[in-house]
C-alpha cells in the first residue's frame, strides 16, 4: 500500500510553481492529499480546498489582540484558514505531512499526530513582509516563535538557497537542505535577435513592493529599439496595482501587458524574448538574498539576464556569464546595465544560458527531495 502524504500550502497551489514541482516528486512516493486554496493540482490524488477568502494569519480582531499581547500558543491554530484546514483534515492519518512555509508548521504537527513532518520554509519566515509595519510589529515575533518551537521537532527542513539556510542555522540551530526554485530542463534553443528591437521581458506577480514600476521607468529611459513585455499574475486587489502599472506604460518604448501563463508553459512563451529583467530594492532580507523562480524560468527560456545585485543571483550570473548585474537598485542603473549589453553580448549570454540550462535545472533539487522522502517514509 502506498504511503499517504499530506501537503499543506496556504497558496493557490495550481499557480504556485515551487509547490507544483514538490508535488511531482511527492507523487512518486505516495498518494498525495493537498490542502490549500484553488483547484486540485494534477499530481494530487485528493484536494481539500480552502475558501480563498479565509486568511492564513490571525487577522481577526481577537487574533490581532492576542498578537499584541503575545499569547502565541493560543494563536497557533487560530487563523481562519488554519481552523478550516484542521476541520477538513480531521480524523485522517498520514505517513508524512509537508508544511509549506512557517505559517503551516503548527497545523502540520497537529495533523501529523506523531508522523514525520517536512517543513519547506521557502524563504526567511520571520521577515517575509517585514517592510510592512503591522508585519514587523505583530507577525514577525509570532513567526519567530513558530520557528523556534517547531523547527527543532521537524524531521526535515528545506530552504531556497544557501544564504537563507545560514540564517536558519544561525537563528534556530537547525540543519537544512537547499532546494532551489529551479525547474525541469526544457529542450529549447535561444531565439534569434530581432534586427529592430531588443525584447525585454519580466514574469511574476503584480504585487506592490516588487518594483515593477521601476522596470517601466528604466525601459522608458532607454532610446528607441527596446520593448518590455510583462506576464503578470494579478494580486488580490481587484487589479488596482496592475491598472497603476498600465498607467505608467505610456513612454517612448512599447510596454505590453499579457495575461499570466501557466508555470509549465512559461519557458516556451519567454523563449521568444531576449533579456529577462528584474530589479528589486532589498526592503527585507528575503529581497536581499533572493534566488527567485523567475531566474530559473529565464535560464530555461534561454534568455540573457539582467538583475539587481544579490549574492545568490549575482554569483550565478557571473559564474555562467549570463548577462549583467546592475550597480544599484535604481531605474537609472537598470537602464545603464541594459545599454551596456550590445547585441553580440546578448546573443552570447543567451547561448551561455543554453549551455548552463542542464546544470541549473531542477534535477539536483529533486534528488535532494527524494533523499528526504526515502529517509522519512516507511520502506516497503
Query: What would the mean pLDDT of 185-213 be, rounded to a whole number?
Result: 93
Q: Which residues pair with 201 in a beta bridge?
A: 229, 276
In tens, the pLDDT along 282-300 reads: 988 998 999 999 999 999 9
157 touches 182 (CB < 8 A): no
CA distances from 368 to 119, 120, 156, 180, 299 (A): 14, 12, 11, 10, 21
Query: What would the mean pLDDT of 33-60 be, rounded to a whole number?
Result: 96
Overall fold of domain 4-180+362-376: Rossmann fold (3.40.50)
Mean pLDDT of the chain: 94
Task: Please enumerate in sequence order all residues whose Cβ is within 8 A of that of 156, keeping only pairs 6 or more positions apart, or say none.
Answer: 116, 117, 118, 119, 177, 372, 375, 376
239 confidence band (pLDDT: 50, 70, 90): confident
Query: What would the mean pLDDT of 298-317 be, rounded to a whole number?
Result: 97
- Nearest of 359, 358, 351 to residue 190 by alpha carbon: 351
Cα 132 versus chain centre, distance: 19
**In the chain, what are the domain boundaries?**
4-180+362-376, 198-356
Helix (H, G, I), strand (E, B) or coil at 206: strand
Say if 4-180+362-376 and 198-356 have the same CATH topology: yes
Superfamily name and number for 198-356: Glycogen Phosphorylase B; (3.40.50.2000)
195 confidence band (pLDDT: 50, 70, 90): confident
Amino acid at each position: 500500500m502506498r504511503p499517504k502524504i499530506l501537503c499543506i500550502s496556504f497558496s493557490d497551489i495550481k499557480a504556485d510553481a515551487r509547490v507544483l514541482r514538490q508535488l511531482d516528486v511527492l507523487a512518486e512516493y505516495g498518494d498525495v492529499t493537498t490542502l490549500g486554496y484553488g483547484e486540485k493540482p494534477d499530481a494530487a490524488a485528493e484536494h481539500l480546498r480552502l475558501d480563498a477568502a479565509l486568511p492564513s494569519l490571525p487577522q481577526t480582531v481577537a487574533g490581532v489582540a492576542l498578537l499584541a499581547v503575545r499569547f502565541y500558543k493560543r494563536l497557533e491554530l487560530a487563523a481562519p484558514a488554519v481552523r478550516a484546514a484542521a476541520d477538513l483534515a480531521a480524523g485522517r492519518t498520514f505517513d508524512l505531512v509537508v508544511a509549506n512555509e512557517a505559517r503551516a508548521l503548527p497545523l502540520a504537527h497537529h495533523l501529523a499526530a506523531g508522523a514525520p513532518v517536512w517543513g519547506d520554509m521557502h524563504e526567511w519566515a520571520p521577515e517575509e513582509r517585514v517592510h510592512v509595519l503591522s508585519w514587523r510589529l505583530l507577525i514577525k515575533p509570532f513567526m519567530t516563535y513558530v520557528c523556534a518551537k517547531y523547527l527543532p521537532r521537524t524531521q526535515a527542513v528545506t530552504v531556497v538557497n544557501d544564504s537563507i539556510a545560514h540564517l536558519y542555522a544561525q537563528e534556530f540551530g537547525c540543519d537544512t537542505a537547499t532546494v532551489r526554485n529551479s525547474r525541469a530542463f526544457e529542450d529549447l534553443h535561444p531565439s534569434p535577435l530581432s534586427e529592430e528591437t531588443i525584447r525585454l521581458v519580466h514574469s511574476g506577480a503584480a504585487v506592490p513592493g516588487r518594483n515593477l514600476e521601476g522596470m517601466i521607468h528604466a525601459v522608458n529611459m532607454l532610446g528607441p529599439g527596446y520593448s518590455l513585455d510583462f506576464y503578470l499574475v494579478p494580486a488580490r486587489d481587484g487589479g488596482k496595482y496592475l491598472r497603476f502599472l498600465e498607467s505608467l506604460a505610456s513612454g517612448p518604448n512599447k510596454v505590453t501587458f499579457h495575461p499570466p501563463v501557466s508555470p509549465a508553459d512559461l519557458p516556451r512563451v519567454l523563449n521568444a524574448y531576449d533579456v529577462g529583467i528584474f530589479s528589486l530594492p532589498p526592503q527585507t532580507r528575503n529581497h536581499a538574498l533572493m534566488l527567485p523562480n523567475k531566474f530559473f524560468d529565464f535560464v530555461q527560456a534561454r534568455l540573457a539576464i539582467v538583475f539587481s545585485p544579490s549574492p545568490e543571483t549575482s554569483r550565478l550570473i557571473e559564474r555562467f556569464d549570463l548577462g549583467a548585474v546592475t550597480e544599484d537598485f535604481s531605474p537609472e542603473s537598470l537602464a545603464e546595465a541594459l545599454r551596456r549589453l550590445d547585441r553580440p553580448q546578448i546573443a552570447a549570454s543567451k547561448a551561455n544560458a543554453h549551455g548552463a540550462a542542464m546544470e541549473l535545472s531542477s534535477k539536483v533539487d529533486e534528488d535532494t527531495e527524494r533523499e528526504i522522502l526515502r529517509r522519512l517514509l516507511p520502506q516497503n
